[in-house]
Every structure is written in C-alpha cells, then in structure tokens.
Amino acid sequence: MTDYAPPLADIRFVLEHVTPLSRLTQLEAFSHAEPDLVAGLLEEAGRFAAQAIAPTNVDGDQQGSRLVDGAVVTPDSFQRVYKQYVEAGWGAVQHPPEFDGGGFPLTVANAVKEMITSANMAFSLCPLLTTGAVYLLEHHGSDEQLHTYVPKMVSGEWTGTMCLTEPQAGSDVGAVTTRAEPADDGTYRITGQKIYITYGEHDLADNIIHLVLARLPDAPPGTKGISLFLVPKYLVHDDGSLGERNDAKAIGVEHKMGIHASPTCTMGFGEDGEGAVGHLVGEPHDGMRAMFTMMNDARLGVGLQGLAIAERAYQQAADYARERTQGRAPGAAKGAQSPIVEHADVRRMLLTMRASIEAMRTLTYANAYALDLAHRADDPVEREEQQKLADLLTPLSKAWCTDLGVELTSIAVQVHGGMGYVEETGVAQHYRDAKIAAIYEGTNGIQALDLVGRKLPYDGGAFVKGYLAELRETASSLPDELAAIGRALAAAVDSLEQATDWLFEQQEQPVDLFAGATPYLRMFGTVVGGAGMARSAAAAHRLLGEGEGDEAQLRDKITVARFYATQLLPQVHGLLDAVTAGADDLYAIEADRL
C-alpha cells in the first residue's frame, strides 16, 4: 500500500498562478498571509497529514466506529491523532482571530483540508462539520452563543453536527417533524429523531454541539416553518464549564459501504424525558436560511472529498503501475516483462486521473477564492459579483468533483487489475469511501436542479452568459504554442453556450429543464475544469519563457493540460444532445414497467 505524499508542488502552483494569493493578501483581512508563511503552513500541514493522519486510514476502515452501551467508540488511533490535531490548531486556520482563529483565507484552508481528507476521509468529516457549524454561528448566532460555543469549536475541543434528515424526510427537508416546545426559561425542549448524523456521537471531544432543525408549535408547513436550534450534548454553565448530560443521544450507528470510521448516527432527542434543551439560533421559522450557510460550506468541503480521495487513489495506482510487471510493451526486449505503466491503456488511465484531479483542484480552489473575495473585497459590487460566482461554482464543485471521485477511484482499482478487487491492497477502500460524497449534502441530482433552476436565471441569464464570455476569453488569450488547448476550450464553450441557451428557454417547462440538468452540470464542470487547465498551461508557458520554476514540472503541466483538452474536454459535445433531448422519453414508460 502506498503512503500518502501531499501534492504540495501542484497545490502551490494553483495558489500562486491560478487563484493567486497575491490578490488576497492585498486585502486587509489577509495581509498577514504572506507567501513564505503560507508555504510553511502548507508544508507542516502536509507533514501532519502524511505522518500522523494517513496511517490511521486502514485501521480506521477495519475497526470502524461502533455503538457500545449508548456511547460511540472510534478506532483506536483516532483519539491520539485528534488530540494532536487540536493541539496543533489545524481546525482554526480559516476562522477569525477574535475567536482564536488563524484568519487565513478559505483558499488556503481548503488546501489544508484537501490534504487531511486525502490522508483519512472518515477522520476529516468531524472537522468538516465542526467548521461548518462555526461558520453558521458566526453568521446567525447571538453574541452569547458566539462567546459560549464558538471558541471551543474553533479549537476543536468541542465539535459540531448538522441535524436535518429524518426517516420520512430525506432531501425533502420541509417534511421534518421534530418538535421544539418553548420552556419558561427562554430555552426550548426538542423531541424527535434525526438520521444519518455524521459524528453525532463520538469519544474524541469533550462536547458535541448539535444544530437541529425543528418546528415550533405555531410553525407553518414546509420549509418556511422550520427553525434552527443549538442542542449541546452537555449543557454549558455561564462560566463555560460543562454541566449535566442533555437528552440527546445516539440510538444507532449505521453499517456502511465505506467511511467505516465515521460514525453515522441515528440521534434521539427527548428519548428519556420532556425533551432535549435547545437554544434558538436566529429568528423563528428562519432555520433553513441559516442552515444553508452551513450546507453550502459543507458542499464545497464535500467537493474537496472527490478531489482528495481521487488524489490518494491516483498516487497508489501510479506507484503500482511502475512496480507491477506484466506483458511486453512495444519496443521492450523479447522475453522481458514490462512495468504496466509502459502500456498505452494504463498510461491513458493514469493521465485521465491526473488531468481530472488537476482540473478539480483548479475548480474547488477557484470556488473558495470567490468566497474569500465575496466576504472580504473592498468594493461592494465586487463582493456581490463574487458571491454569485461562488454560488454558481458550488454545485459544480460538489457534484462534478464527487462524480469524478467515484469514477477515478474506480479507474485506480482497474489499474491494479485483480489485485484492486482484493481488500488487502487498500485501493478498494478509496472506491468505497468516495461513493458517499455523491450522495450526502444534497445528492448530485439536486445539485444539478439547483444549477439550472436557481443559478442559471441570475440576472435574467446575463450572469452565466458573462461567465461563459470569460471562459471564451481564456481560450482566445492562450499563446500560439498552446493553440490546441485554446481551440478545444473554445469549441467546448460553444457547446455549453448552446445548452445554456436551450435550458434558459425551458424555464417555463420545468420537466424538460430538469431532464437536462444532470448532463448540463457535467458539461459545465468539464468546461470550467478545462478553463482551469488552460490557465495552468498558460502560467507554465510564461514561467518557462522567463526561465523560472521547475522546468520538468512546468512541461508536465502543459502536457497534462493538453491531454485534458484533447481527450477529456471533447466529452461536452456528446452531452449537448442529452441536455436538449427533453423529457419525453424519460416519461414514455409507465412507472410500473420500469
């Protein structure tokens, strides 16, 4: 099994030349994030991910988390490594200094999260949910909630959860039935069950802060009647010390296909009495708006999981292909066996993985970059435009990257041949772990509906059209030496624009609009990834001309970008007909005959 090697050279390249940190450090909030400081931060994060976290991946998968006498026991190595994670302050990187955070851009924090997720995705889920919970409270919590809960969550001493789903209400959050009854002391009593709650119970932290969607007695039906409540595992005294156990507990842990070490809990609130003590977050009946703050942060984090697991699987596949001998490659001596990396089909698989991974990295980092500018840019007009861009890129990051995560980890199994199908090699775990990312935080079909139903109509369609014009400008601005990349990108943008125009015309025909949503998201993600690769190639070409950087790395950058442009980007043309086919054939067969 291959050890994890943080891809620091590529991460730094993207941060320096595709989503340039030099732009962010001009902002007052990020002026301290100087290149040398960020480089040292990433180096240390990579070392911690590779040396401390990555070795826990296999035993975590084999032991899993389990429910014992009402408590969740995590794998043996997790408590030690989580303590190291807290002591090193990795959970605090992106949070504000007033809560003892590092105040670094999300763009930098995302690079840290990528490496931690590659090292052990199941482990990374606990910090992922905690970060989202902190982010929600920063935007919607009261001053008392901020000062009581957020510092401990920023440090990682306490963790957070997102409690939405119920047995009868999966993606249809408006159907939740958990109740919140006002109490005389200004708190609420929460009763009901939530399912699929990641790290809903565990033994890593002193307290767990549940963010729970529930209905007040006078709540209107649907999502407009949902409120949000903070429900701690242990009640917290005024001085910040922990009090008695709240009536919120795990009553089951799922046995899953992958991420075995991440406890996916069924949570019972009020199982033993009048209800769990909860505190209203924000205004009554405004819970979904607040929760979307956390959900959108988590969606980008889940998109990173597709990238991160694909990277880990790629490293293992490439190492195996260099070591495994099988058959004789063209040009090899007679009677000799060649490393399988010399066979054309294996090269095709490895380059497909590498090019897709580099494209995903440019997309997810650009998504974080837009969020940094949306929150911190000086010009309010720029902040508004960058928020729209972030909103547009989020469903692409979440869905396109996690779909690719499944496909690329599958390719990694294929590179291993029969050994990939054997658990001992470890590559099968990446495949099993990757699948969940396409399901949770809004299934990828829902992300596609969000893209065509909410993001496409921004500014009457003008925003997306303007963004496509920017992608076309990227294609036309490439130097002559990169003409093949430019032509492929320009043609892909043309097909994407045709699909966009057709879908926009279907805004009053939701069945046809939604029928084309998933192939459209695939088109859009592939093209945006292609534009990121084109920008990478242009930067590499410029640096070569200036005699700067690692020449071999820069030439590889151009080669991989050209492979993406000529062998992966043409997929978008085949998707155009699928986007514009309409829904007739989808509904031509009666449901009971499917």
Angle 483-505/551-563 helices, nearest 10 degrees? 40
- Cα-flanking dihedrals φ and ψ of residue 86, to 5°? -65, -45
Task: Tell me if residue 157 is catalytic.
Answer: no
CA atoms within 13 A of residue 54's CA, in its CB half-sphere: 23
Distances in Å between the Cα of 118 and the Cα atoms of 14, 57, 142 are 18, 9, 35
Show the CA angle centred on residue 450, arms to residues 448 and 456, nearest 5°.
Answer: 95
The alpha carbon dihedral of 20, 26, 29, 35 has a sign of positive
The residue with tokens 């996916």 is 264
Mention every residue, 6+ apart, whose C-beta is less than 8 A from residue 518: 444, 445, 448
d(CA 374, CA 178): 34
For residue 204 the two structure tokens come to 């890593």
Copy the structure tokens of residue 114. 């990528």
Which tokens sit at 511?
């069945």
* Dihedral sign computed on CA atoms, order 448, 449, 452, 457: negative
Rounded to the nearest 5 degrees, what angle is found at the Cα of 453, between the Cα atoms of 450 and 459? Answer: 110
Name residue 415's amino acid: V
Q: Which structure tokens are listed for 100?
A: 């003892």
The count of other CB atoms within 10 Å of the CB of residue 98 is: 13
In single-letter form, the type of residue at position 410 comes to: S
Q: Which of 166, 358, 385, 441 is catalytic?
A: 441
Cα distances from 69 to residues 72, 149, 228, 265, 364, in angstroms, run 8, 28, 29, 14, 41
CB-CB contact of 309 with 437 (8 Å)? yes
Give dist(CA 224, CA 288) in Å, integer: 8
Q: What is the DSSP letter of 142?
A: -
Cα 442 → chain centroid: 12
Tokens of 192: 């009901």
* Longest CA–CA separation in the chain, Å: 87
Written as one letter, the residue type at 443 is T
Q: Which residues are catalytic?
A: 441
